[in-house]
Amino acid sequence: MRAQMATHSDSSMFDWLRYRHLLWSLTWRDIRVRYKQSLLGVAWAILMPLSMMMVFTFVFTRAIQASSLMAVDMPYALFAYTGLVPWTFFSMSLMGCVNSLVANRNLVTKVYFPREVFPLSCVASGLVDFGIAMSVLVALMGYFHMTGEWEFVLHPSLLFVPVIVLVQVLFTIGLGMLLGMANLFYRDVRQIAGVGVQLLMFVSAVVVPVPKDDSILSLILSLNPLVPLIGAYRDCIVYGHLPAAGGFLYACATAMVFFVCGWMIFRRASYRFAECI
C-alpha cells in the first residue's frame, strides 16, 4: 500500500499523457454509450440546446415579455443559443465528471493508471458535442443575417474563441475532479450537484443578461466565473470584439485555481479511491 501511495504522489501532473490511448478509448466509449440505441443519435447534441433556446425564446419574448431583455441588442434566439451551447457543454461535462469514478468502479480497482483519465474523458466527449452544436450557431447567425434582423461581420475576434474554450475546459476539469472525488466519498454529492447546476444556469447570463449596475445582486453575480466566460463567447462571436479584460482575466484566474487545486487534491486522494468503491 505504501508503495502504491508513493507511486501516486510522485507521479507527474502530465503522467496521463502516457495513457492518452486509454483516454481516447474512454472518450469514444462515452460518446457511443450516450447515443447507443437512440433514434436521433448525435443529433441530440444539437437538439438539446436548440429546444431549450425555443422554450426560453417563447417564455421571455412571448409569454412574459421580460423587461431585462431590453438590454439585448440582438435577436433573443441568437442571444440564448450563444449562451446555451457553452452552458450545455459545461453542465453535461461536469455531471459526467461527478459520476465518472463511480461509473467506472471496475476499472478504478484494477492495476494502477492515472485516475484523471475518467473526468478528462467526460470533458473530451462533451467537447465533441460542443463542436457539433456550434455548427448550428453558424446556421442561426446566417439566418438572422439573411432576414436582416442582425448583421454578421467577420471579425478577427473569432480567433480568440479557442482561448475561451480552453479556459472553460480548465475550469470544468478542476471543478469536475473535486466533485467527482467528493461523490466517491459521499454519494449524495451527485444529487446536490444536479440541483446546483440547474439553479446555476439562471445566474450565469445564459438566458437572461446580468444587470449592469452597482446593486448587491450584480456584485454577487459577477463573482460567478461563468458570467464573463459566456459573455466572452457573445463578445467574440456575435458582437465582434474581444471580451472585457477585467472580467475575462478573473475567469482565467479562477479557472487556473480550480484546475491546479482540483488536480493536486485529486492526485493526492486517488490512492484511496479503490477503498471507497
Number of domains making up the chain: 1
Structure confidence at residue 264 (pLDDT): 93
Task: Decide if 200 contacts 87 (C-beta within 8 A).
Answer: no
* This prediction's pTM: 0.86
Domain that holds residue 39: 2-276
d(CA 220, CA 186): 29
With 70 as the cut, is the pLDDT of residue 39 above it? no
With 80 as the cut, is the pLDDT of residue 150 above it? yes
Average pLDDT, stretch 213-224? 80
Structure confidence at residue 6 (pLDDT): 40
Cβ neighbors of 211 (< 8 A, separation 6 or more) are 68, 217, 218, 221
Average pLDDT, stretch 185-191? 90
With 80 as the cut, is the pLDDT of residue 72 above it? no
Average pLDDT, stretch 183-203? 91
Instruction: Give 13 or 43, the one with higher predicted confidence.
Output: 43
114-129 pLDDT, tens digit each: 889 999 999 999 999 9
With 90 as the cut, is the pLDDT of residue 153 above it? no
The secondary structure of residue 62, as a DSSP letter, is I
With 90 as the cut, is the pLDDT of residue 46 above it? no
Closest alpha carbon to 89 in 57, 53, 132: 132
Task: Decide if 121 contacts 128 (C-beta within 8 A).
Answer: no
- Which grid coordinates belong to 193? 450537484
Structure confidence at residue 5 (pLDDT): 41
Average pLDDT, stretch 93-101? 93
